[in-house]
Amino acid sequence: MKKTTRILFALAALLVLGACSAEPAAQQDFDETRYFQKITAKMSLEHGLLRLDYTLGVPNQVMTFLLRNQDVSVVSVNEWYMDETDNIRLYYAFCEPGKSGEIREEDWKLAWPDVKPGETERRKSRPRRSALLLQPGNSTLIDVPLTFLEHIEPPRRKARYTIALCAQIALNTLQTKSEVFEISVFPKTKDVEIE
């Protein structure tokens, strides 16, 4: 009995000493490409109800987009950022009413995320992520600040401008974009030409 107890004690001591090794455990690199897999489900990006009173030079204007799961199964977007505005890019271009389909690729400008002059992209150093789960037919809302309306210079002075917009999800795993649509924007001042 004493011999068996000593053997068991010796084995337990070896296990404890082996577990308390002085060498640090090898750190596993986080494999984003493996964890954030491409999403093949049918998804759509739609604009919400459009306001009619967007105005140049006015702060705090917002537009809402809906990312909708049109598939028959649950979709998990593991790459999703906690700050919802980090998940979307918005592009704009001035156009004539009803002519948004004629805009050349090089005429589109980045509206969101807003960037300082001379920069091409604004990115937080370590944005936080939280997986987004969408049931079939469900959607999530993404509010996009229209900060570009505060400082853009229209091509000429008019009583009303037509601006084409197009949004796209800014994730590597989800390639979804909205249709091009138009909004009417009015100048802040009354000093405009009559059309």
| pLDDT, tens only, 91-124 | 999 999 999 999 999 999 999 998 655 555 555 5
CATH class for domain 38-120+130-186?
Answer: mainly beta
Bigger pLDDT: 8 vs 85: 85
The pLDDT assigned to 180 comes to 95
Domain definitions of the chain by residue range: 38-120+130-186
Q: Is the pLDDT confidence value at 21 over 50?
A: no
Whether this prediction's pTM lies above 0.95 is answered by no
| Predicted pLDDT of residue 154 | 86
Per residue in 152-176, pLDDT (tens digit) is 888 888 889 999 999 999 999 998 9
Q: How far is CA 116 from the centre of its chain?
A: 19
> What was the pLDDT predicted at 108?
96
Smallest CA-to-CA distance from 77 within 143, 138, 130, 142 is with 130
